[in-house]
Amino acid sequence: MNESSSPFIVTLDGPAGVGKSTLAKRLAETLDIAYLDTGAMFRTLALYLRENGWSPEKTAAGNDEPAPRELLSGCVFTLRGSGAATELLCNGTPVSDVIRSEEAGMMAADIAVLPQIREYLKTAQQYLGNTSSLVAEGRDMGTAVFPSAACKIFLEAEPEIRAMRRYLQLRESGKPCNLAELTEHIRRRDQQDRNRAHAPLSPAEDAAIIDSSYLNMDEVFAAILRTIGAKRRTPPPVYAMRRQDRAISREECLALLAGCEYGLLATIDKSGWPYAVPLSYVFMDGAVYFHCAFTGHKSNNIVADNRVCFTVVGATLPVYDKNYSTYYESVIVFGRAFAVKDEQERTRGLRMLAEKYLPAHMDGFEESRRRSGGRTAVYKIVPDQITGKAKRPREKT
């Protein structure tokens, strides 16, 4: 349900020279979604930091936050377009080919070992993945950045074979190269990527591993498409309701969602702990809307993993009918939460919240929105599954 409105994330990780970029672009083109080259983000950030007078050599050992925070937060990434034509923008300008130089690659590798830099880019990457469907290419996309991606692919190929492919590529484009040096370079990069302390290169437990050593590009691409086909429609969990006789209809569920006062939102934090929080909300156009601060436990969890479970409880009445019992009615929604970006939709959500909870004070709405609207994030939960249950007086127990 509502697949078109849930960002669909495919992660493509693997070592240097395995053909990730070519395959990721082709895949993004086929799926007509954006292509996120996270190596380009590391390269761009490395150049940006150097232009602004900072380099990792200036870092004192053990310093957890080596780059000034204001400097980092001045480097904002966005995406434009889709497929192979996707553009990565830094502060509104498409990143240039300067980032493709060997030197920029080495500078990227140097900053990529710093936890502070990885955290900063991880948040930026997750933000992009929360707002649009992506093929995300890199080293730690399936493990650290998008742990709940719909489909994870890890590409492998023997280092000698990767070196030979690069050798042939360079030779074809008339660039002088030495196969032994290229092999050594690939081995060193592997060593660095696989052994770094923070987010090392390794396949996620649920990734499909495709060894391309003895396959051509078309064969690898076909294997990727098969994997996606198998995983794309992963539904939310279905817990069988023990008392089916108490299940309520979809219409009753929707009426309860529309009529209940507060709800309980459960999110998942980075370490896998559930976090459930009481919530004021409105049910509007088939989705649950709520507001909160841009950063905080709720927002951070949702940005990292947008799967949520939302529950409401309607009327309740403890009863004694020779048994201790309770009449109740409740609904559980499984879905995905998205930051609402459209200004009109955001304002409508906030207005509906004000009308639900403080209808007698709507004259203050515009003023309040002007004062704090910019600091307020609006999220919507797009349901994948809605179920409800009730025990009511007319029933026999």
Taking CB atoms, the residue at the shortest distance from ligand DC is 39
DSSP-H helix ranges across 154-309: 159-172, 179-195, 217-231, 250-259, 297-304
Question: How are beta strands 376-391 and 324-339 bridged, if at all?
Answer: antiparallel
Q: How many angstroms separate the CA atoms of 70 and 119, rounded?
A: 15
Min dist. Cβ of residue 79 to ligand DC (A): 15
The first and second tokens of residue 279, run together, are 């919530």
Min dist. Cβ of residue 146 to ligand DC (A): 11
Min dist. Cβ of residue 39 to ligand DC (A): 2
Strand partners, 52: none
Torsion sign over Cα 337, 340, 345, 347: positive
Min dist. Cβ of residue 37 to ligand DC (A): 7
Q: How many angstroms separate the CA atoms of 71 and 52, rounded?
A: 8
Contact, 162 vs 16, CB < 8 A? yes
Which of these, 382, 31, 390, lies nearest to 236 by C-alpha position?
A: 382
Closest to ligand DC by CB, 145 vs 312, is 145
Q: How many angstroms separate the CA atoms of 16 and 161, rounded?
A: 12
Contact, 322 vs 329, CB < 8 A? no
CA angle 311, 314, 317 (to 5 degrees): 125
Binding site residues, ligand DC, CB under 6 A: 16, 38-39, 42-43, 105, 108-109, 112, 138-140
Min dist. Cβ of residue 220 to ligand DC (A): 17
Closest to ligand DC by CB, 19 vs 39, is 39
Other Cβ atoms less than 10 A from the Cβ of 135: the count is: 32
Min dist. Cβ of residue 145 to ligand DC (A): 7
Min dist. Cβ of residue 109 to ligand DC (A): 3
**Residue 181 CA, distance from chain mean position:** 38
Of the chain, the end-to-end C-alpha distance in Å amounts to: 35
**Residue 41 CA, distance from chain mean position:** 16
Min dist. Cβ of residue 66 to ligand DC (A): 16
Min dist. Cβ of residue 73 to ligand DC (A): 20
Closest to ligand DC by CB, 13 vs 329, is 13
Min dist. Cβ of residue 199 to ligand DC (A): 7
Closest to ligand DC by CB, 41 vs 210, is 41
Which of these, 289, 248, 282, 256, lies nearest to 381 by C-alpha position?
A: 289
Closest to ligand DC by CB, 24 vs 151, is 24
- Residue with token string 């009753």: 252
Torsion sign over Cα 306, 309, 315, 316: negative
